[in-house]
Amino acid sequence: MMKNPMKEEKQEIKENNSDLSTYDNNSDFALDITTSSAISRVNIKFLAIYIPIFWLGGFLIAIYLYEYTKDITYAPIEFLLFKLLFLPIALLSMYFIFIFSCLFFSKLFLILINLIHKPREGIFRAVNGDIDFDFWCLRIEVKKLALWLIRNCPLPWIDVLAFKWFGVDIDFSSHLQDSWSDVEFIKFGRGVMVGQGAVVMSSMVVGNYLIIKKIIFSDYSLIGGKSTIAPGTIFGEDTVLGAVSITTYNQFLESGWIYSGIPGRKLKPNKYAETRRDIISRVDVDEEKKFDEIYEVNIDEDKKD
């Protein structure tokens, strides 16, 4: 029987957590996202990383602009008209050159930072001087600039490419509709949809602690708009989280169920979850008949289970 890596990984995470459904209110690590601050206490010194990224991106723009305008001074009128005609394309090209150069140089800085201190899951002290916290702040600032530029880019598919570039396990069958997601310790299955305005946080600051924990979205998970996903959340297959809902730390959402609320609670079975995705139900209106049609499912071999 073919092994399913996604199922094995979920099982391993569940085994590492003694209980995903109950929380000890007396524990220092009993986390309630509804009363916690997800805002990182980033020191102003980390913003200095933007200076070389902007400078390198601007340097490429300067080279492009020089090459575009270097022959204008003594050029004939026809050449000037040609340059003027293609000026909008040149400006658009400079816009994309700046975006992709920021993305590229941010990735280079991130590789260097991760070589110095590798990211890891856990619960850390959220104080300046803690090495895990300081490097987390630095990684956040490096990625924030590039992802903000990409998310405001008019190309609809470019955000998924950017998330893959920064290490998110995601393919083009999943979509983040104007939502925000961390790029560390996030795994998407096939056909996952994250609604508009949702926030996926594999890391967050709660009180005096920094929490970093992997989030898994199994195949065909659906996250409603304006929802918040806490670190350690695991979505089962065909799981739906309603709009304006919140999960709690280490919460496991069972396959084939609809969750809603603050915090998210099991509401009702997802009746639209299909056990076989190689069957399309069709209706012949004229004959008043309903019939099933089998078609080939074009998905990855390791996800066909």
Which of 7-11, 12-16, 261-265 is most confident? 261-265
| Predicted TM-score of the model (pTM) | 0.70
Mean pLDDT of 36-49: 57
CATH classification at residue 172: 2.160.10.10
Per DSSP, 237 falls in state T
The confidence score (pLDDT) of residue 241 equals 92
pLDDT digit string, tens, across residues 284-294: 666 666 666 65
Q: What distance lies between CA 150 and its chain's CA centroid?
A: 12
Q: Which domain does 243 fall in, by range? A: 5-303
Mean pLDDT of 7-24: 46
Cα distance between residue 20 and residue 69, in whole Å: 62
209-212 and 193-194 as β-strands: parallel, antiparallel, unpaired? unpaired
Query: How many Cα atoms within 13 Å fall on the side-chain side of residue 75?
Result: 14
Q: What are the structure tokens assigned to 220, written together?
A: 């065909």
Q: Which residue has the higher pLDDT, 129 or 28?
A: 129
Annotate 10-66 with three-state secondary structure: HHHHHHHCCCCCCCCCCCCCCCCHHHCCCCCCCCHHHHHHHHHHHHHHHHHHHHHHH
Cα distance between residue 272 and residue 256, in whole Å: 9
State how many domains the chain has.
1
203-206 and 279-284 as β-strands: parallel, antiparallel, unpaired? unpaired
pLDDT digit string, tens, across residues 198-219: 989 898 888 788 899 999 999 8
Mean pLDDT of 96-112: 89
- In the structure, what pLDDT confidence band is assigned to residue 54 with cuts at 50, 70 and 90? confident
240-241 and 222-223 as β-strands: parallel, antiparallel, unpaired? parallel
pLDDT digit string, tens, across residues 250-300: 899 998 889 998 888 988 888 776 555 556 666 666 666 666 665 555 555
Cα distance between residue 56 and residue 154, in whole Å: 23
The confidence score (pLDDT) of residue 88 equals 86
The confidence score (pLDDT) of residue 26 equals 40
Answer whether the bond into residue 263 is a cis peptide, omega within 30°.
Answer: yes
Cα distance between residue 219 and residue 254, in whole Å: 12
Is residue 233 scored above 90 in pLDDT? yes
pLDDT digit string, tens, across residues 166-190: 888 888 888 887 788 888 899 998 8
What are the distances in angstroms from CA 116 to CA 110, 113, 128, 139, 140?
10, 5, 18, 12, 15
Please, which residues have CB within 8 angstroms of residue 163's CB and are 6 or more apart in sequence? 147, 170, 176, 181, 183
The confidence score (pLDDT) of residue 259 equals 93
Phi-psi region at 46: left, alpha or beta (left = phi > 0; alpha = psi -120 to 50): alpha
Residue with tokens 């199922």: 7
The confidence score (pLDDT) of residue 305 equals 53
